[in-house]
Chains A and B, each alone.
Chain A
Amino acid sequence: MAHLKTPSTVRRGLAGLALLATLAWPALAAAQDRFIVMASTTSTEQSGLFKQLLPAFKQATGIDVRVVAVGTGQALDTGRRGDADVVFVHDVAAEQKFVSEGFATERRDVMYNDFVLIGPKADPAGVKGRDIAAALKKLSVTAQPVVSRGDKSGTHAAELRLWKAAGIDLATARPAGYKECGCGMGPALNMASSLNGYVLADRGTWLSFKNRGELVVLVEGDKSLFNQYGVMVVNPARFPHVKADLARQFADWVVSSAGQAAIASYKIDGEQLFFPNAAP
């Protein structure tokens, strides 16, 4: 007895289902409105700056900025892959390398904020003051928990520079309680909070951080704690698809008096977080 093959209706039904799944996605078609992708850092986004800055930019130019917030290392890598149009991070040395490798034609100063040394109110290691090198020397000989981001971010790079500047070689003279979490600023603060330990943080994330426990700011104001931000347009010569024109509008705006004013006006609890310092 002959048996029949799969009826054509079945085959048509399957094709219809697949088509339906793709048609249920109108977003693909709407992808042509004006937007750029900006790779930036988690600490910048978590400070809340973008929620004020980007709407101002959109109002001035009609351009949407889509922020992918990751660690500095990953943000630069995103730029190197051509997956972003603008890179906005805070690690001058790494940015200069980025430019020298040809992924951007220039970097421009935009603003700075500062790092602060956070620790338990009781301060068992006695680091309170305005001298970060002295504070780090004291920490290196205690067994108090010291949390490090350990994630190759701008903050992590700054932390490593500060230890070096204080004359401490982490490879040989690591503090007994030193813990690297390989994580972002928020999780590092969370860890310090639960361990009642010390951690270097950017002021922005600290001001927005809600899980403080007994932590307070212990060291601030030292010039070496300043954290410089730079903006770079990803090089269209390298990646033709980059929206260079729109990206340049952003870079130009953020260093213009309008952008700089928007940065300065951003405050948390009345405190200014970022200090514009673009070249005039």
Chain B
Amino acid sequence: MKAPARQTLISLHGANVRFGATPALSGVTMDLRRGDRLMLVGANASGKTTLIRLLHGLLQPVVAGSVQTHVLVPEGTAPRGAMVFQRPFLLNLSVRWNVLLGLWLHGVPQAERESRCRQALQRVGLASLAGRRARELSGGQQQRLALARAWALQPDILFLDEPTASLDPGAKREVEALIQDFAADGVTLVMSTHNLGQAKRLGSRVAYLEAGTLVVDRAVDDFFSGDDLPDPARQFLRGELPWHT
């Protein structure tokens, strides 16, 4: 029994992105649907980061092809995005201020800012460290702060670019747990990762990129079962196993 079709949030049609003479993405066509937990996998420089940035709107202008954002149904507003980077850039301020900053930039009124900040910090388990300087936190704590900062904005789509690549195993688990938590709330995820195990655990859909082209785009189970995968993807799966972090 198939689930009812979910709303498309962003459509890409033949999107091309070039940095100077180097093509980063070629002819990418895909739809991001509400509730997707899209995992982007592929080797370094395959275009994962470029694709995420393109979807988030950090690349302007689009070089060729089209990127279309659709209005949310039934809310009637454009989908709001927030992004978590591999190494979070935290301002030289307190933990609390780093979260408040995002809220302030989004024009959230004063009273609401405080409560949303508190909630976000509690959710990621950093409430007791709210007064500390953000730069003094450990790697894992900083990434949790980045998640709090993003989540406080109540995004419809959460973009994550290799969020656990620089973390130790314990921190990795904590961050993964939080990501799953947010997905369970209904936030759409687009995440790139080197870690196939992570892709399997967290994703509902996997896209494989190679040299800027989108080679495969399937439901997670279909991807990992390996049935009639295009050759590059199959080789990639094999090459990446066993699942080292």
Contact = CB atoms under 8 A, between A and B. Distances in A.
A touches B (Cβ under 8 A) = yes
A222 to B, nearest CB: 75
Contacts of B105: 4, 7
B56 A7 contact: no
B106 A4 contact: yes
16 contacts: A1-B56, A1-B57, A1-B69, A1-B78, A1-B79, A1-B80, A1-B81, A2-B78, A3-B57, A4-B105, A4-B106, A4-B107, A7-B104, A7-B105, A7-B107, A9-B104
Interface in A1-24: 1-4, 7, 9
Contacts of B104: 7, 9
Contacts of A1: 56-57, 69, 78-81
Contacts of A4: 105-107
Nearest to B159: A1
B58 to A, nearest CB: 8
A2 B106 CA distance: 10
A149 B101 CA distance: 65
Interface string B103-116: 01111000000000
Contacts of A3: 57
A138 B16 CA distance: 92
A10 to B, nearest CB: 10
Given A1-B80, A3-B57, A7-B105, 13 more contacts: A1-B56, A1-B57, A1-B69, A1-B78, A1-B79, A1-B81, A2-B78, A4-B105, A4-B106, A4-B107, A7-B104, A7-B107, A9-B104
B9 to A, nearest CB: 11
A49 to B, nearest CB: 59
B213 to A, nearest CB: 24
Contacts of A7: 104-105, 107
Nearest to B82: A1
B104 to A, nearest CB: 7
A2 B77 CA distance: 11
A9 B106 CA distance: 13
Most chain B Cβ neighbours within 10 Å, of A1, A2, A3, A9:
A1
Contacts of A9: 104
B54 to A, nearest CB: 11
Across the A-B interface, give the 4 residue pairs with the lowest CB-CB distance, nearest first.
A1-B57, A1-B81, A4-B105, A1-B56
Contacts of B79: 1
A3 B105 CA distance: 9
Interface in B54-89: 56-57, 69, 78-81
B219 to A, nearest CB: 27
Nearest to B55: A1
Nearest to B106: A4
A7 B105 CA distance: 7
Contacts of B80: 1
B220 to A, nearest CB: 26
A151 to B, nearest CB: 55
A276 to B, nearest CB: 69
Contacts of B69: 1
B146 to A, nearest CB: 18
B171 to A, nearest CB: 28
Nearest to B157: A1
Nearest to B78: A2
A7 B78 CA distance: 21
